[in-house]
Amino acid sequence: MANTTSRDPSSARTVARQRRARDEKLATRELLLESARTILRDGSLFDLTAISLGHQSGVTRQTVYRYFPNTESIFKALSDDVINAVYQDLQLPSDKEDALDHFVTKAIAVFVSDSAVIRQLVLAWAMGRATGRGPG
């Protein structure tokens, strides 16, 4: 009968390698998103392309496309980050008026924390909606 309490060293190496790969992938994604924010702060949504993002982040255009197949997916990821920041650690009081006030206060704090990027995200959303390509 095999000893089930011992671990196969090759299995442990595989798990470690997979964890490292996942961490590197998350780090690259975050690098790309932070680089996209920099482009939006310094310019406009029209300046955000796979080429400009690759240049800003120091990765190839192919790497950009591996993570984000188009600029819409970059804007979606940035928007998701904003929404997640609004809801992160949000503790709403039981009173509805206090809860609404608390939520709005938190949302405004997130929106003004990087208002240049938020303006570009709102503009991208409005343009997508106007052309039928965005949410709405």
What long-range pairs does 116-119 form, CB within 8 A, spacing at least 24?
Answer: 116/40, 116/41, 117/37, 117/40, 117/41, 117/78, 118/82
pLDDT tens for 41-89 read 999 999 999 999 999 999 999 999 999 999 999 999 999 999 999 998 8
SS3 state of residue 95: coil
Could you tell me how many residues make up the chain?
136
Residue 2 lies inside a defined structural domain of this protein: no
Residue 54 lies inside a defined structural domain of this protein: yes
Residue 28 lies inside a defined structural domain of this protein: yes
CA distances from residue 10 to 7, 18, 20 in whole angstroms, order as listed: 9, 12, 15
Residue 116 lies inside a defined structural domain of this protein: yes
Q: What is the count of structural domains for the chain?
A: 1
Q: Say how far apart CA 57 and CA 38 lie, in whole Å.
A: 10
Other CB atoms within a 10 A radius of the CB of residue 99 amount to 14
By mean pLDDT, which of 5-14, 66-75, 77-86, 108-117 is the weakest? 5-14
Residue 71 belongs to what domain range? 10-131
Residue 64 lies inside a defined structural domain of this protein: yes
Residue 77 lies inside a defined structural domain of this protein: yes
Report the phi/psi class of residue 74: left, alpha or beta, with left for phi > 0 and alpha for psi in -120 to 50: alpha
Q: Answer yes or no: pTM beyond 0.85.
A: no
For residue 47, the domain's CATH number is 1.10.357.10
Residue 108 lies inside a defined structural domain of this protein: yes
Residue 91 lies inside a defined structural domain of this protein: yes
CA distances from residue 47 to 40, 85, 113 in whole angstroms, order as listed: 7, 25, 21
